[in-house]
Amino acid sequence: AQSVAQPEDQVNVAEGNPLTVKCTYSVSGNPYLFWYVQYPNRGLQFLLKYITGDNLVKGSYGFEAEFNKSQTSFHLKKPSALVSDSALYFCAVGGSSNTGKLIFGQGTTLQVKP
């Protein structure tokens, strides 16, 4: 069965510093991996996805993620954090190639302080 783990409930970082939000996954077959962000009282906004190809995926708002097959990780990164990046971040894995079903991690709250 597929699963996703986000080991940190909250990540605190100072504005201008690099940020990392961690995600590990367990899946049989090829992983389809996603990152979404949720602002208060809003839906999920797509940041980036890994389907195949380059291990470094670039996404929206300056975010990127590194796919590491040996460590089964897909950590979200940004070189310089902004206060406006403060939100709830979800990592998700797609179940298989013929379904749009996503399995989500529990979410990580990112707090960027000025």
Q: Indicate which single residue of 28, 53, 54, 97 sits in contact with other proteins (rule: CB under 8 A).
A: 97
Identify whether the C-beta of residue 106 lies closer than 8 Å to the C-beta of residue 92.
Answer: no
Q: How far is CA 98 from CA 36, 66, 95, in A?
A: 21, 24, 8
**106: contact with other proteins by CB under 8 A:** yes
Q: For residue 32, which of 6, 5, 4, 7 has the smallest C-alpha distance? A: 4
Stretch touching other proteins by CB under 8 A, among 9-17, 18-26, 34-42, 70-78: 34-42
25 membership: H or E segment, kind and range? strand 24-26
Contact between 36 and other proteins (CB under 8 A)?
A: yes
37 in contact with other proteins (CB under 8 A): no
Binding residues vs other proteins (CB under 8 A) = 32, 34, 36, 41-46, 49, 51-52, 90, 92, 94-107
